[in-house]
Structure 1
C-alpha cells in the first residue's frame, strides 16, 4: 500500500541529546530519503524536525542507527532543557572518565622524565586504560557504523588513527589524541549549547501565562486555553499573552521584542494590542481577538524557528562538499601510507604515521556546525531588530541586491492622507461634490477613501447607495441618489468617454476625479507625507551602488514630485497591480547578475511581493497578509529597517565565509604539514577539534553583533 506523504500533516519534534552536527546531516538525509517521511529539514540549532506522526517509529530507528542515545519527542513533551542535558548523569560520568584518563596520561608521561621506567606490561596497562576510558564510545560507534556500511565518519577516522598509532607503538600520542578529541568534543558541545541558548533567548518573548477574567475572579491559565472573546488582565511588567483589543485602562507598552523599536507606545481603550508586547505601567483589560496559535507572536516564533528549512546556497554547498571531502582525504592518506615506501622514500612505519595524522585532521565538523549556526544567528539577530527573515536563502540573497523596487503609498509615504483642495467643475458645488464622493467611497478600505470620508465629516446614508462596483486599480462606479457616479483615476473617466481638463504641473498630491451623470464634476487633491527616514534610505542605497525604482498607481505628476523629493533613480506611474508585476519581471530579466527586491505594504502588493527575488513587507506588525506573502517582514514601519536587514545579511555572510576559509585553510595546511612529516598527531587534534570550537565561537559573533546594534 502506498502512502500519500503530501496528505500527512507534519508535526514538530525535538531530538533530545543531538550534539553532533555531522550526524544531524546524516539523519536529515536519511529522513528525506525515507518514503514514509518525505523531504524534511532538520534544524540542528534548535534540535527540531518536522515529521509525519505515523512515521515516528521509522524515524527513531533511523536515529538509533546513526546516533544512538538521541530521543525523538513531541515538542510539547520534551522533558530535558539544555541545562539538564549538560548536567545529566552521562555528562558527569564523562567528566570523571576524562579526568581519570588525563591523570593516567600524565603519569605515563612524567615517570620517564623522572627516570622511572615502568615495565612494558605496566606501561601498556596505564596507557591503554586511559585510552579506553575516553575512547570506548568512539570505538563502539565506529564498529557499529562499520557493520552498517557507514564509513568515513569522525568516529571511524579517530578510531583508525589512534589504533594505528598504538600499532606502531606511539601509545602516548594515541591516548593524547583520543583524550583531547573527547575534551574538545565536550567543550564544543558546551559552545553549541551556549549558542542554542542565545538563540532560545530570542524566543523568550513567548508569554508563559494569561490572567483570565472569570466573573469576579482572575485565574492564571496557559495562553492556549483562552478563547476568542474572553477578557484577560495584563498587569504592569507582564507580557501581553494574546492579540486583542483594549477595553479598559491605559498604559505604555514596550514593543521592542516584536519591532526592535525602543520607544514605548501608548495603549488606550479601543487600541489593538499584540502578544509579546510588555506592559510598562497601567493595568489593561483586553478582549482576545485571536487564539494563541494564530497570534502575531506565535507566527513570529514559527517563522524564526523554521527559517532553517530554507537553506542558503552556501549551506547546501557545504553539505554536499562534506560528503566528498572526508572520503577524498581518506584515500589521500591511504596513498601516502603506501606509495612513498614502495618507491624507497622511507619506512612503512614513518609514512603510516603521517597518514594516520592526516586521518585525524580530516573530519569536516568545523564546517558542518558553524555554517548553520551562523545563519541561524543572523536570522535570530534580525528578529531581535524587528526583521523577520523566512529563510537563510533570503538572508544570503540580500547580499546580492542590485535593484530595490519600492511601492509608494504606505511604503515611502505615510499613507495618511488629507484633503487639501476641492476643485468642482462649472455647475457643481464643492459641498455636493464631497457628499457624492464620500458616499461613493463608503465601502472602500483604501487610505484615500478614508481621508475623503473624514474630510466630509457627516454621516453617510447607506440607503442613498443603490449600486456599487470597484474597478480594479482604477476607482469606483456607483449609483448614488439616482446619479451615475464615477470616482477614481483619470483613466476611469476616460474609459467612459468623459473629457477631463489637462493636469496642472507641479501638483504635490493625488488627484481623485469625479463624474456625475456622465459629466465631469471636479477633482479632489489629496496630499501624502514622506515617511521618516525614506529619503536617507534611498540615498544610502544609491550611494552603495544599488539601483532604486518606485512603482505606483498614482498619477505621473504626483509620482514625479515624490520621486524628486526622495531622489529615486527611476519611477513608473499609473500602474495597475499586474503592471507592477510586469515591471519587476522586466527588471529581473534585465539584471541577471543581482537580485531584485520589492518593498511594499504587504496587503495590496501580494502578487509582486511573491514574484520578486526577495519580497519585503514593511509595517507587517499584526498583518497576516504581509507575513504570508513576503520573504522578509519589517515589523516596524520604517524604511531604514531595510538597510539594517542588508547590513545583518552582509555581516552573517562575512562570518560564515571566515569560518569556511579558516576551517579549510587550517585543515588543508595541516594535511600538507602532516604529509611532509612536520605535523604530529598532537597538532592534528587541534586541526580537528580546536578548529571546530573556534568556528563555533566565531559563529556566535553574529548574535553579539545584532545585540550591540539593538
Structure 2
C-alpha cells in the first residue's frame, strides 16, 4: 500500500481540531508544511499536530549555536513512525530541535553537544529503527560500484564492509550503483576491500559522478579465457583426448570463470547472506564432487556471461540519470572589472556576474542582467521550443544559450541549482521502494531459504528412503540450488522503476519514487486548480464595448486612467491598449478610490474607471446597461466600466485566458483512459461553466475556499475514484496532500513545488501530464510482465527437476537468461517518447 493510500485509509481530516490543521501563508509564498507533513495531515491527534512537530522553527535555530546533524532513518513504514521518533528524541537531555521527515526518511537534530548525538543510534534502535549518518563532514564519501547484478549483491557488500573496524557506516544502493560510506582509513583501502568482495569501486570526486564505470576489460578477458578452456575440453571429449586432460581443461575453466563468484560467496557467507554467488558456487563445487565437470564448467561460464550482460544492461539504465550530471559545465567565465576569469563552478559565489556566450551551456542558476537571447530549457523542463530571455528573467544551470551573449547574476551556489536538486530528488526517488518491489523482496527472502532447505532435503532423504541413488538426488539438489536464485524476480521491479524515473527526468517530469509511479498508473480521476493551472493566471482583455464613444477613444481614456495602477486588471487594460498602439492622454490629479476604481482629470473633465458599485455611487445613469453587465459577469469576466459622472463611455471585459496547452493536454488524458477530469475553482458557477466548456472538463466544483478543495477531493475518493490533484504546489498544498497523488506545475521556478508534490512537472504547462500517466501505466504493465515471467520460469524449472528432465546448465541458463530478459524488457521504458 502506498503512502498516500495509507494516509487516506487511516485519516479523517474532519476529526482534526481546527487549530491543529496545517496553515499556509500565501502572501509570503511559504508553506509551513512539507511533503511529509502533508502526507500526515492525518488522523489521530498525533498526526493532526504534525505541523507543530515537523515545522522547523527558523527563528529559534538562528538564535542558538548547537551541534546539528542529519541522519537517514531506516524502518519507518507509516507517517506515525516519524512522530514516535520525534517524541522519543525530544525527551533526551540537551536536544534543542528535532525534525523527522517521513517522505524523505531523514531526521535533522540539533543538540547542545556532540556527545548526545552519539547516543541517538542506540535510542532509535530501541524503537525498532536504525540510523545512518548522512552529509557528515570529513569522512563520508560516495563511490560508484561495478559488478552488482542484483540487490542481494548490495546487501553482501554492505555486510562485508560493516565488519571492517575503520568503517562507521555504509549504505549500498543497487539501483543507482552507488555506495555512501563513512570511514577513517584511505580510499585505496576501501577500494581493495570492495575488490575482496568481488566488485570494483571508484570514488566520486566533488559533485560529479563518473558517467563511465571502471574498465571491465579484465573481467571480459577472464570470461573469454574460461570459455576457451570449456570449448577445448568439449571438443576434446569428442575426440580421443584423455578424459583426465578433458577434466583438467574443464577444471581450469571453472577456476578462471568461477574465481570472482567464489570470492563473493565467501564474503557473503561471512556476512551471513545467502545470495546467488553462494548458491551458484555450491552448485559448481557439488558438480565437481560428483564428477560432472562439463556441467560445472558450463554453469560457471553461463553464469559469468549472464552477469556480464546484466551489468552492461543495468549500467545503461543508471547512466540515464548519471548523464544529467554532465548537463551543466564544470567551469564558468566570471566577470571581474573589465576582465573575464575562468573559474570552477564550485568557486563562484552568489552575486557574481558570469558571462555565457552563444552556443554555450549556462553553468549556474541566475538572473539575466545584460543581454537578450533564446535559451533551450529542454534539459530542465522538457520544453522543445527555446524560451526568450531578457533582463530580469531567470535562467537555469544546464540550459543552452542559443544566440546572443548573456550576463547573468548568480543566484544559487552549484549545490543548490535546479539541476542539482533534480539529480538529488531523482536519485532519492530510486532509493524508495515501490509497494510491488517491497512485496517481491519479501517474497524472495522467504523463497530462497525455503528452496535452499528443500535442496538439502532432496540430496539426503530420497536416497535414505531408497528412492534412487545418491548421485541422482545430489544432482537434483544442485539443480534446486540454482533454481533457488530469485535474481530475475528481485530485479523485475527496481530496473523498471529506475528506467521510468530516468526517462521522466529527461523529459521534464520528476517522479519522487516508485510508489508514486505505481499510483499514477492507477489514477482514474484528475482534479485541476483553475487559476494558474488550466488558465494562465494572468487576466487579459476579452471584450471592448464602446457605448457613447469610439473604441479608440475608450481605450485611450482607459489607458490614461489605469497607467499608474499596479493592479493586475489595470495592467491588462494598459497592455491591451499598448498592443493596439493607442496612446494615453495628458491626465492630472490622479486619485485611487479604494476597492472601487480610479479617477483623473483629462482636459478639465473628470473621468472614472472602476466597477459597477463606483458608478452607482456617482449616480451615473447605468440602469439600461445592468443586464448586459450581469451577462458579461456570468461569463466569467471582470468588468472595467469607463465614464464620467454624467454618462457611461464603455465597458472593458477582462478575463483569465485558457492556456494554449490545456485543451490538448486534457484530450490527451482522456485518450490514455482518465475518465473523469475535474476543475476546482473559487470563481462563481458562471465562470466555472465557461472555462469547463472551453477546456473539455467534464465536472467542476465552483465557489470553493481552500478547505473546500480538500472536501471536493474527499468526495471524489468516496465515489471510488483514485484521484490526482494538479496545482501550483503552494496554495493548493492541502488538496495536493489529500489526493492519492499530488502533481505540481512549474517546478523549475519554485523550490516549494519540488518539495511538496509527489510528481513535479518542471515546465509551467500540462503537456507532460498524458505522457506521465502513459509512462506510469507502461511501467506497471512491464513490472507485471517481469514478475509473471520470472515466476513462471522458476516454477517450470522446479517442475522439470524431479522427472530428471532439467540439467544443471539449463537451470543456470533459465536463471541468468530470465534476469537478462527482464532487464531488457524494463529498458524499453527508457525509449518511451
Q: TM-score, normalised by structure 1?
A: 0.81
Instruction: State the alpha-carbon separation in 1 of the partners of residues 714 and 723 from structure 2.
Output: 9
Partner deviation per Cα, 1:257-312 (whole Å, 9 max, x = no partner):
12222222222333332222101222222222333333222222222222113321
Give the alignment partner of residue 127 of structure 1, picking from 238, 244, 250: 250
Relative to structure 1, the CA distance from residue 358 to residue 535 in structure 2 (aligned partners, 3 Å threshold; closer, same or farther) is same
Instruction: State the alpha-carbon separation in 1 of the partners of residues 358 and 806 from structure 2.
Output: 62
Alignment of 1:21-420 (within 5 A): 21-26=150-155, 42-48=172-178, 68=197, 75-76=204-205, 81=210, 83=212, 85-87=214-216, 91-92=217-218, 94-118=219-243, 120=244, 122-150=245-273, 152-420=274-542
Q: Secondary structure at the match of 1:692?
A: helix
Relative to structure 1, the CA distance from residue 489 to residue 199 in structure 2 (aligned partners, 3 Å threshold; closer, same or farther) is farther
Q: Secondary structure at the match of 2:536?
A: coil
Partner of 2:735: 608
Partner deviation per Cα, 1:110-132 (whole Å, 9 max, x = no partner):
223112334x4x55443333322
1:509 has 2:636 as partner: yes
Shift of 1:570: 1.5
Partner deviation per Cα, 1:322-365 (whole Å, 9 max, x = no partner):
21121122233234334444454332211221221121122122
Instruction: State the alpha-carbon separation in 2 of the partners of residues 113 and 563 from structure 1.
Output: 78
1:4 has 2:127 as partner: no
Instruction: State the alpha-carbon separation in 1 of the partners of residues 457 and 325 from structure 2.
Output: 50
Instruction: State the alpha-carbon separation in 1 of the partners of residues 119 and 156 from structure 2.
Output: 21
Q: Is the 8 A contact 2:561 2:598 kept in 1?
A: no
Shift of 1:671: 1.9
Partner deviation per Cα, 1:394-444 (whole Å, 9 max, x = no partner):
1111111021001111111122312457999xxxx99999999998x85x7
Instruction: State the alpha-carbon separation in 2 of the partners of residues 222 and 452 from structure 1.
Output: 47
Instruction: State the alpha-carbon separation in 1 of the partners of residues 176 and 598 from structure 2.
Output: 59
1:578 has 2:700 as partner: no
Q: Secondary structure at the match of 1:207?
A: coil
1:451 has 2:557 as partner: no
Instruction: State the alpha-carbon separation in 2 of the partners of residues 323 and 245 from structure 1.
Output: 52
Shift of 1:643: 0.4
Partner deviation per Cα, 1:64-86 (whole Å, 9 max, x = no partner):
69973658887435998464512
Instruction: State the alpha-carbon separation in 1 of the partners of residues 638 and 462 from structure 2.
Output: 85
> What are the ranges of 5 or more consecutive residues in structure 2 without an aligned counterpart?
1-115, 122-130, 547-553, 579-583, 601-609, 614-625, 642-647
Relative to structure 1, the CA distance from residue 70 to residue 554 in structure 2 (aligned partners, 3 Å threshold; closer, same or farther) is same
Q: TM-score, normalised by structure 2?
A: 0.70
Give the alignment partner of residue 551 of structure 1, picking from 680, 688, 691: 680
Shift of 1:678: 0.9
Relative to structure 1, the CA distance from residue 339 to residue 179 in structure 2 (aligned partners, 3 Å threshold; closer, same or farther) is same
Shift of 1:558: 0.7
Relative to structure 1, the CA distance from residue 576 to residue 65 in structure 2 (aligned partners, 3 Å threshold; closer, same or farther) is same
Partner of 2:827: 700
Partner of 1:526: 654
Instruction: State the alpha-carbon separation in 2 of the partners of residues 31 and 604 from structure 1.
Output: 48
Q: Is the 8 A contact 1:206 1:298 kept in 2?
A: no
Q: Is the 8 A contact 1:63 1:70 kept in 2?
A: no
Give the superposed CA RMSD.
4.4
Instruction: State the alpha-carbon separation in 2 of the partners of residues 535 and 431 from structure 1.
Output: 34
Q: Is the 8 A contact 1:134 1:178 kept in 2?
A: yes
Shift of 1:642: 0.8
Relative to structure 1, the CA distance from residue 322 to residue 634 in structure 2 (aligned partners, 3 Å threshold; closer, same or farther) is same
Q: Is the 8 A contact 1:25 1:319 kept in 2?
A: no
Relative to structure 1, the CA distance from residue 303 to residue 147 in structure 2 (aligned partners, 3 Å threshold; closer, same or farther) is closer
1:536 has 2:664 as partner: yes
Relative to structure 1, the CA distance from residue 183 to residue 357 in structure 2 (aligned partners, 3 Å threshold; closer, same or farther) is same
Alignment of 1:486-505 (within 5 A): 504-505=630-631
Instruction: State the alpha-carbon separation in 2 of the partners of residues 325 and 180 from structure 1.
Output: 23
Q: Secondary structure at the match of 1:236?
A: coil
Q: Is the 8 A contact 1:32 1:38 kept in 2?
A: no
Partner deviation per Cα, 1:509-550 (whole Å, 9 max, x = no partner):
343799xxxxxx999842122222322333443462521111
